[in-house]
Structure 1
């Protein structure tokens, strides 16, 4: 590579790196910091739901509103977990299926953060593990009879020995 091309390529890399560095988020503005995390994101009427956000900053609190689902207002208090404000509410028994927006307003600057809660009428299905045997159709055609199994193994051994003997004769040039 020529020195001019190397300089051009290096300059391009530096410009791209500088542009990428300028667009990188600063501390406190990372992924998830501008949203309200709802856990579990799918709930049934009567479930307890937790919400948290890092958008309100260190030692920040917020006023939460789950009125869309009928749960009313709740408080998000500062926690020791990654400078997040955390709160809880219960999905009312009268909640109808659908997706609802849960809102929180930071106490310090009034910033609004939102998250979604999906309400269903039936709980999420539990993991079901298979039991019993699987009918694949492979093997067992003659059954578990030991006499038939021994006869099959003997037939395979005779065929293998015969094939080896024929290949050995052919390699020596004796013919068949």
Structure 2
């Protein structure tokens, strides 16, 4: 019990220390609160997408009343527009990953219309992760043969022979147990 308490206390202390000592993601840039984008970066959602998926990008770098020109030509999606959104100070846009996109990491760029500020974010294209389930069909070539043959008459005869053998064996064991002899 004492060992478990020490382990839990040590784990809690390590987590608390890591939270206090954690450095910001980029030098000179504060870590954004959950649900908010960095003012100097492009947030790509989802970060990892399959070919054919829709991707949303947003940034707070341009300001609430500005627009931005998005560029996803690296992945083959072309250009798109980012417009003011309901999220305070953010502009948001969307594009579709082309069905023929190859797996890899691609840089997505947005350039603010008024300030000319350029921000980037990464998109990871993956292969389809949810392929349809394939079930095996056919028989396995083991050399033993099938349990049930293709002839129903032979199958019935085999089952009857097994039943007679089981009944005979049971009868003989019963006689032996009574002492009647064989």
TM-score by length of 2: 0.49
Which secondary structure does the structure 2 equivalent of 1:18 belong to? helix
Q: Alignment length, in residue pairs?
A: 155
Relative to 1, partners in 2 of residues 1:97 and 1:103: Cα closer, same or farther, differing over 3 Å? same
Residue 75 of structure 1, CA deviation: 1.3
Looking at structure 1, the residues matched to 167 and 50 of structure 2 have their Cα atoms a distance apart, in angstroms, of 65
Query: What are the superposed Cα offsets for residues 28-74 of structure 1, whole Å, 9 maximum, x if unpaired?
Result: 369xx96424699454xxx7x74313554997964311243566532
Q: Which residue of 2 aligns with 1:36?
A: 44
Q: Residue 157 of structure 1: CA displacement?
A: 0.7
Q: Which runs of 5+ in 1 are unaligned?
A: 119-123
Match of 1:114 in 2: 121
Partner of residue 68, structure 1: 74
1:134 paired residue number: 138
Deviation at 1:174, TM superposition (A): 5.0
1:134–1:37 distance in 2 versus 1, CA, 3 Å: same
- For residues 84-103 of structure 1, the aligned pairs below 5 Å read 85-88=92-95, 100-103=106-109
Q: 1:113 to 1:172 in 2, by over 3 A?
A: farther
| Correspondent of 2:17 among 16, 19, 24 | 19
Q: CA RMSD in A?
A: 5.3
Segments of structure 2 that go 5 or more residues without pairing to the other structure are 23-30
Contact 2:48 2:123 in 1 (8 A): no
